[in-house]
């Protein structure tokens, strides 16, 4: 029996108060940089998916930091190179956006099956490096989100 991915996923932008952003390079697609992403498993809530994916992809324990549901969803067409992972006929995904605020840059332990390497970049550089428009747009929101929360580093 084939088990397909659910077309419901999370995007978790991991960042610091200084607006440094963690990016991961996909193992199967060198040059594709992104924040933490992943599909829902079973009937888990999006926040549980976000916490699980952060742990699997970075080794970070979200309970030690501030994981926030940005109350934002994106709907987009699934890239053709990844459609085989979904049930026949599934062409769109709904992505729930989260942020994980860290006090400063943390050491990362990637899963080599999923990612080749990781890097911390300032938010502008990180946004430009992302291949996904939804990831780029989320990163571009960081200064306003920090200012709104009263946590600006200025």
- What's the burial of 6, exposed, middle or buried (CB within 10 Å: 0-12/13-18/19+)? middle
The token pair at 66 is 């501030």
> What local confidence, expressed as pLDDT, does residue 152 receive?
44
For residues 35 and 110, give the distance between their C-alpha atoms in angstroms, rounded to a whole number: 12
Q: pLDDT, tens digit, for every residue of 10-54? A: 999 999 999 999 999 999 889 999 999 999 999 999 999 999 999
> What local confidence, expressed as pLDDT, does residue 153 receive?
45
Residue linked to tokens 């994980």: 100
> What local confidence, expressed as pLDDT, does residue 125 receive?
98
- What's the burial of 114, exposed, middle or buried (CB within 10 Å: 0-12/13-18/19+)? middle
Q: pLDDT, tens digit, for every residue of 49-94? A: 999 999 999 999 999 999 999 999 999 999 898 899 999 999 999 9
The token pair at 9 is 């996923």
For residues 84 and 152, give the distance between their C-alpha atoms in angstroms, rounded to a whole number: 42
CATH number for the domain running over 8-148: 3.90.79.10
């Amino acid at each position: 029996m084939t088990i397909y991915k659910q077309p419901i996923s999370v995007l978790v932008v991991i960042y610091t108060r200084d607006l440094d952003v963690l990016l991961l390079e996909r193992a199967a697609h060198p040059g594709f940089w992104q924040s933490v992403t992943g599909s829902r498993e079973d009937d888990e809530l999006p926040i549980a998916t976000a916490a699980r994916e952060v742990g699997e992809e970075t080794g970070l324990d979200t309970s030690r930091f501030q994981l926030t549901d940005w109350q934002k969803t994106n709907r987009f067409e699934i890239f053709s190179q990844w459609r085989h992972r979904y049930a026949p006929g599934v062409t769109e995904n709904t992505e729930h956006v989260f942020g994980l605020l860290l006090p400063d840059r943390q050491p990362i332990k990637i899963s080599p099956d999923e990612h080749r390497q990781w890097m911390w970049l300032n938010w502008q550089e990180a946004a430009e490096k992302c291949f996904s428009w939804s990831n780029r747009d989320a990163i571009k929101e960081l200064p306003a989100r920090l200012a709104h929360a009263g946590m600006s580093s200025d």
